[in-house]
Chain A
Amino acid sequence: MATAVMDTKTSDTSTPYMVAGAGLLLLVVGSYWGLAYAPRETYMGDVQRIMYVHVPTAWNAMLAFTFAFGCAIASLIRGGYRWDTRLEASMEVGVVLSTLLCIQGAIWAKPTWGVWWDWDPRLTTTAVLVLAFSGIIALRSFVDDPGRRAVWSAVAAIIAYVDVPIVYFSVKWWNSLHQMQSTPETVSKAFHWPLRINAIGILLLMWGLIALRARIAALRLERQLQPPPEAA
């Protein structure tokens, strides 16, 4: 396997910071819009405002895992460590976003369903997704050989990714408490903008964080691949 990791000395670090900062700024704008300007939903009332962060978090969590899936395939096909560092980064960001997704969902479920959690198909498959990718991240630290670690974690990520379409279709395949996917036609226009702004905000934040996290992984790998100092 080639030893190329990433040009960590010359790569520009200001871009990921700026992208993440722009994402945070958009999140503030979108959240303020959702909390202060968007109208109350007819049946869910103000509790529906949680959707302005919950739905964009869900979209981006699935996107992070889809990027991880692409990195895993690229890592297996192209070799080298560049895609492995991106895989590590996108899996971690995906786990953070999907854990946040479960927390937001639980907070929304209590006033609407009457329970914090239910072993409903959508919730259960999402919990499986969090546990599967958390397991891969945890197990990576037990494999010392970077080449073997890159190969098996790419294979494991591809297997774990099978759960992503299952999460998406779970509300269609099985009876679920969780509502079906909404479309722009089924959501009132007044709710579109806070959703879109927060979706772009989390996307930019995710992009910046994956780029920075990949650099951390690349720097660690660079140290690991350095030859040991010669004995005097």
Chain B
Amino acid sequence: MLQVMSKKVLIVEDNELNMKLFRDLLEAHGYETVQTREGLKALDMAREHKPDLILMDIQLPEVSGLDVTKWIKNDDALSEIPVVAVTAFAMKGDEERIRQGGCEGYMSKPITVTTFIETVRKFLG
């Protein structure tokens, strides 16, 4: 039996419940997940696990998700990994600001299951 390597998603999210929601949703759809609650650890996790996609919360306790994204995009080994922002900043202009910050995708919280999975599939096929 051929074991297909499942795609790996790194979730950077400081809220426990939201982390669980994204993890359960992704795993239910056959994705493997790695998680961190701290933006500062996200870079190390990305280097270590080489995920296929990063879901990035923007408002993190110590460092902004946008800064973390910038580090990732400046790292030659990681810059190819798509970053999708998942944020409760849903005010006018937020999406534009976040996309300019280097994120390839944007989802506003609260998410709906359908759009969440569609967005993830768009990047992971």
The reply to whether chain A is a binding partner of chain B is no
Chain A residues with CB under 8 Å of chain B are none
